[in-house]
Structure 1
């Protein structure tokens, strides 16, 4: 009887892990009785985290636009994720409204292979989600809820970008 190897275990987070971390982040944020209480260092920590989140979202949006400009064939797959990142830019209020992506975007270096470009987006989403999850402990109430939401969305985007290639 031939030996069949065990099924390949997918790399990266599983759906259950993503749901558990999103639920954990929501619980962490919702544990405070006072919506404005938190473990942060006050208004300066909140303002700093908020400004960083706005810059990070803008940078990620620019990265999506660069990949879309270099690889228009990915538009159907990336457009919904790009639109959510644009919503994060607006939510964090960096003072500008993101314009829809156009092919005239000035692309930063984008890998020539679509697979590599998508992998780069997945890595950027994952790193940003991790950074935002860490910032949750520094900000109170509503800013923490916004960070938790954006972190959960970023983790989901990383999963979709990673698993969609398989």
Structure 2
């Protein structure tokens, strides 16, 4: 009596599910660090005299603006390509949590994607981001509804490029910031790397 050959397929979760779970775990760390960072800002180091913002304060504010600008890109992509909504909304929600973790505008982060004509999250988020990081519109998180590519494929590629550039920049900044903020930046950078995978994964790569 011969035994049936072992099955080659195992009922394991898809890779996208695994990466989404990993990103969720990172976001839990982000939330915890964000709370401790906000409640213990003096531990972040050199508060300037005379009310001047410290280097850590400036880095935190910049990170909040960058995440808010990235959020605007997600809103623009969802508004322009409704077929991407189910795929992008969980990532958008994660970026919104990044905004609040860095102490950014909670009202804007809590908004939802609207038609491009409303322009509320997109137009207001892109303006504050300045400096070398926003020099290249193709990879900068500071996009707007008018910059959204015409095809869904290009929209995903643009979001992935923005996430990748921002994660790399935050990782590079880690040696220059104090402990709590460094941990927060590292956690958000890791979440961004997971987002890049989810944005670039094809339907066949499960």
The reply to whether TM is greater than 0.5 is yes
Aligned partner (choices 145, 155, 158) of residue 193 of structure 2: 155
Aligned partner (choices 98, 102, 127) of residue 114 of structure 2: 102
Q: Does 1:131 align with 2:141?
A: no
The number of equivalent residue pairs is 134
Contact 1:68 1:75 in 2 (8 A): yes
Which residues of structure 1 form unaligned runs of 5+? Answer: 1-14, 23-34
| Partner residue, 1:144 | 182
Q: Does 1:120 align with 2:154?
A: no
Contact 1:42 1:139 in 2 (8 A): no
Q: Does 1:76 align with 2:61?
A: no
Q: Does 1:55 align with 2:65?
A: yes
For 1:52 and 1:132, the matched residues in 2 are separated by: 10
Which consecutive segments of 4 or more residues in structure 1 shift more than 4 A?
A: none
Q: Aligned-pair distance for 1:102? A: 2.3
SS at match of 1:103: coil
Contact 1:63 1:108 in 2 (8 A): no
SS at match of 1:100: coil
Instruction: Normalising by structure 1, report the TM-score.
Output: 0.72
More displaced 10-residue stretch of structure 1: 137-146 or 126-135: 137-146
Q: Aligned-pair distance for 1:41? A: 8.0
Question: Once the two structures are superposed, what CA deviation does each residue of 1:59-95 show, in whole Å capped at 9, x if it has no partner?
Answer: 0000000000100110011010000000001111123
Question: Once the two structures are superposed, what CA deviation does each residue of 1:1-52 show, in whole Å capped at 9, x if it has no partner?
Answer: xxxxxxxxxxxxxx8xx9xxx9xxxxxxxxxxxx99x9x9834221121111
For 1:85 and 1:164, the matched residues in 2 are separated by: 22
Larger Rg: 2
Q: Aligned-pair distance for 1:137? A: 1.0
Contact 2:174 2:182 in 1 (8 A): yes
Contact 2:45 2:178 in 1 (8 A): no
Contact 2:167 2:192 in 1 (8 A): yes
Q: Aligned-pair distance for 1:96? A: 3.1
Aligned partner (choices 149, 156, 162) of residue 111 of structure 1: 149
| Partner residue, 2:97 | 87
For 2:203 and 2:72, the matched residues in 1 are separated by: 22
| Partner residue, 1:6 | none
